[in-house]
Structure 1
Amino acid sequence: MTSTDDILRQAARRSGRNPRSWAVLLVAALAVGLGAPVWLDARTTAQYPVTAQDLAAGRTALDALVVKGRAPRTGYDRDEFGQAWADVDRNGCDTRNDMLRRDLLDITLKPGTHDCVVLTGTLDDPYTARSIDFERGERSSEVQIDHVIALSDAWQKGAQGWTDEQRTAFANDPANLLAVHGPTNQSKGASDAATWLPPNRGYRCAYALRQSMVKAAYGLWVTQAEHDALTREIDRCVVAR
């Protein structure tokens, strides 16, 4: 699985910024060699503890975020972020199926799709702490791929100034994607951390760390209320021992 350092470098390239300008975030590199950071993996333990390195990286990212008001939503359209679930990494599989393969357990794959299309699997949903059976077809929407930072929220906090290529990369970046319970994802909508947090309180620390890391990596800003909410949840994080 991709390391924190890899994610920051990839995000820097995708956002069109010089990777050298990300020095403030490279504390995340401390996690390299210790396995994937907890905030990146939906399949964490029931209490979702984080490592001291992940927590330090999250705090550094949060401190780096610019705080200012939300820009108007004028001009926003989902199409501004490119084709939904494009194959941006050119592995022959769309992003949705990439994320299903990453986050679901006990998956079965459709024959003849080069191990791409997920037919069934089980999701340990981080947002509700429920176990959800996924089955491709009429029930597919029971598991959805959430943009942890909603595209509309990103648009109002910096993304409207990006190129089409940068927005497409952001919309398909695994660091900002999670397989989750569909109806809960629908209830979240385009909310930021100030107005919506996962019902599963045990996951809120990991959620806040992910939001902070991705927003910092892409140069997005936060409102004061959002910054306060992220700070509150990160302060409640439990460090694994």
Structure 2
Amino acid sequence: MAHRPRRLVAAGLVLAGALVSAACSPLAVSTTGDAAPAPAAAGPAGQAATAQLNALPVQAHSSLSAYSRAEFGPAWSDEGTVELAHNHCPTRDDILFRDLSDAIREKDGCTVVSGVLHDRYTGKSISFHRGRSTSLAVQIDHIVPLGLAWQSGARNLTASQRLNLANDPENLIATDGPTNAAKGAKDASQWLPPRNNARYWYASAQVRVKAKYRLSVSRAEKQALGQALESCPASGTDAKGTR
């Protein structure tokens, strides 16, 4: 079995960087308003995520009428400038290799043929076997969906920046196929992970990506993200650890 490249491990650690480091305490509800600050989440990580959220511009989502997946470049391209680029492997296989336990690649050093996903969104363990009728059991989710990114300002990014957004490991996670399909391009006011213990992590990851690419949030989206940042698993960390 191929060894995990160091930069893939590093990407996994970045993805896990928003985990809560200490137990959470009850939070006061902030005043309401068009751009009211989100409640400050407990602990340094939560406070940093809340500060990032409060710094995002608040505006209504733009129309999806001009959106096309092609605006974000070829799917799973290796041509961006983000961390995983130029290793000659499609981004999808890099993320599968990062997120699956016991991941096995073919002799080409890229194609992931099997492994086990401990799904952060649902808490399920899913066996992955590459094949025409089996590959869709595990899919790669854009944490900030590309359609939502377009509505949030990605239409104003350069083609290179959009390519990076679509292939950025901070914006990608392997997950249960039906759950990914149900999410679609919904924002946090319309969809959050079904597993409650994943919602703090998910909100933190969305905020981090939106801040990185200077994207906006709608009023309802900001409220939902702020509420998710208030949540905390009982143990003070994501039960799935650092994966």
| TM over 0.5, shorter chain | yes
1:50 aligns with 2:45: no
3-state SS of 1:193 partner: coil
Q: Which residue of 1 aligns with 2:73?
A: 82
Is 1:146–1:179's contact at 8 Å kept on the other side of the alignment?
yes
Structure 1: how far apart are the matches of 2:226 and 2:140?
A: 25
Structure 2: how far apart are the matches of 1:149 and 1:125?
A: 17
Matched AA of 2:94 = D
1:101 aligns with 2:97: yes
Is 1:62–1:212's contact at 8 Å kept on the other side of the alignment?
yes
Gaps of 5+ in 2: 1-5, 22-42, 80-84, 238-243
Structure 1: how far apart are the matches of 2:62 and 2:7?
A: 32
1:121 aligns with 2:115: yes
Q: How far off its partner does 1:49 sit?
A: 5.2
Structure 1: how far apart are the matches of 2:168 and 2:176?
A: 19
1:61 aligns with 2:52: yes
Q: How far off its partner does 1:36 sit?
A: 2.9
1:197 aligns with 2:192: yes
Q: How far off its partner does 1:162 sit?
A: 1.2
Q: Which residue of 1 aligns with 2:209?
A: 214
Q: How far off its partner does 1:227 sit?
A: 0.3
Gaps of 5+ in 1: 8-34
Q: Which residue of 2 aligns with 1:166?
A: 161
- Correspondence list, 1:134-145, <5 A: 134-137=128-131, 138-145=133-140
Q: 1:227 aligns with which of 202, 218, 222?
A: 222
Structure 1: how far apart are the matches of 2:56 and 2:75?
A: 28
Structure 1 stretches of 4+ moved >4 Å? none
Is 2:19–2:45's contact at 8 Å kept on the other side of the alignment?
no
Is 1:122–1:132's contact at 8 Å kept on the other side of the alignment?
yes
3-state SS of 2:115 partner: strand
Q: How far off its partner does 1:73 sit?
A: 1.2
Q: Which residue of 2 aligns with 1:133?
A: 127
Is 1:59–1:234's contact at 8 Å kept on the other side of the alignment?
yes
3-state SS of 1:36 partner: helix
Is 2:52–2:207's contact at 8 Å kept on the other side of the alignment?
yes
Q: Which residue of 1 aligns with 2:37?
A: none
CA RMSD of aligned residues (A): 2.2
Alignment TM-score, normalising by the size of structure 2: 0.78
Is 1:49–1:237's contact at 8 Å kept on the other side of the alignment?
no
Structure 1: how far apart are the matches of 2:145 and 2:123?
A: 21
Matched AA of 2:93 = N
Q: How far off its partner does 1:2 sit?
A: 6.6
Structure 1: how far apart are the matches of 2:137 and 2:91?
A: 17
3-state SS of 2:175 partner: strand
Matched AA of 1:85 = W
Bigger Cα displacement from structure 2, 188-197 vs 230-239 = 230-239
Matched AA of 1:150 = P
3-state SS of 2:13 partner: coil
